Amino acid sequence: MAPSLSTDAVDERQPGHRDRSGVIASARRHTHHVRFFKLGILIGSAAGIGLLFAVTFFDPFSNVPSNVSIASASLSGTKITMELPRLSGFRKDGKPYQVRARSGVQDIRTPKIIELSEVEARIQVESDNSVNVIAPWGIFDSGADLIKMITRTSAETITLKSTSGYTVILKSADVNLKSGDLVSPDKVTVLMPGGSIVADAVQVGDGGKMVTFNGNVKSLFKSADAESTTEAK
């Protein structure tokens, strides 16, 4: 007796089965296409980000302010180390200033800030008078045209010497390069021909024309025939 075929059996040669196979194959191709495009988008995005980082990391000069010149630069992580950075410009009244340092460090995440070591600055106050500043450390903010001069040990000092004859010794000083103003919340000593002033803090405004001493102020002035000492608070 010949075996009977179940009605549930499917003949793969039937048209309906071929249609279902085509739908399944098309769905698989669509899935592969979607995965391919997703992968392409990820690769493209990664390449774009990589290019951005490449430009930032391998072109350190792109983040250096336009008025800053350097001898050379090297990169370590996110920090650019500059050799012999030099800054020059003009104050609001047209008088020039120059700032130079032995080295500078700039983090590409904060490109407007440059940390300086062994800072020397020359600021023209009057046509016949300029101030030379020497500081062990400095932080330059190119966005505000401000340089913060600092000391890190008790033995370190900041020295300002004027061609007119006075010397100022500080522990810290914020100098606005455009206006010429200076602010120091720390002890200040001023040495000048014939006298000296010691104060807890000092402010220099109006482009260097106005000086205000704050806190405990002690002054000593000498004359040809007498010596006077004045203390004020």
Query: Which value, in Å, is the radius of gyration of the alpha carbons in the chain?
Result: 36
d(CA 126, CA 202): 20
pLDDT at 105 (0 to 100): 94
d(CA 148, CA 114): 10
Q: Give the pLDDT confidence of 204-220 residue by residue, as tens digits.
A: 887 677 889 999 999 99
Among all chains, which residue has been given the structure tokens 């990664």?
A: 46
* Alpha carbon distance, N-terminus to C-terminus of the chain: 127
d(CA 181, CA 206): 7
More confident residue, 12 or 52: 12
pLDDT at 150 over 60: yes
Choose among 109, 56, 111, 116: nearest CA to 84. Answer: 116
Q: Report the DSSP beta bridge partners of residue 218.
A: 198, 231
pTM of the model: 0.68
Q: Give the pLDDT confidence of 23-44 residue by residue, as tens digits.
A: 455 545 545 554 545 555 544 4
CA 104 to chain centroid, in Å, comes to: 10
Tokens of 175: 């100098």
Pick the CATH number of 64-182 from 2.60.450.10, 3.90.1210.10, 3.40.50.720, 1.10.238.10: 2.60.450.10
122-143 burial, b for 16+ CB within 10 Å, e for fewer? ebbbeeeebbebebbbbbbebe
pLDDT at 51 (0 to 100): 39
Mean pLDDT taken over the chain: 77
Q: Give the pLDDT confidence of 53-68 residue by residue, as tens digits.
A: 443 444 545 566 667 7
pLDDT at 79 over 50: yes
Q: Give the pLDDT confidence of 91-143 residue by residue, as tens digits.
A: 888 888 899 999 999 998 888 899 999 999 998 877 777 889 999 999 999 88
**pLDDT confidence band for 21 (50 / 70 / 90):** low
User: What's the number of CA atoms in the CB half-sphere (13 Å) around residue 156?
Assistant: 15
Cβ 171 vs Cβ 183: under 8 Å? no
pLDDT at 35 (0 to 100): 55
SS (H, E, C) the chain: CCCCCCCCCCCCCCHHHHHHHHHHHHHHHHHHHHHHHHHHHHHHHHHHHHHHHHHHHHCHHHHCCCCEECCEEEEECCEEEEECCEEEEECCCCCEEEEEEEEEEEECCCCCEEEEEEEEEEEEEECCEEEEEEEEEEEEECCCCEEEEECCCCCCCEEEEECCCCEEEECEEEEECCCCCEEECCCEEEEECCEEEEECEEEEEHHHCEEEEECCEEEEEECCCCEEEEEEC
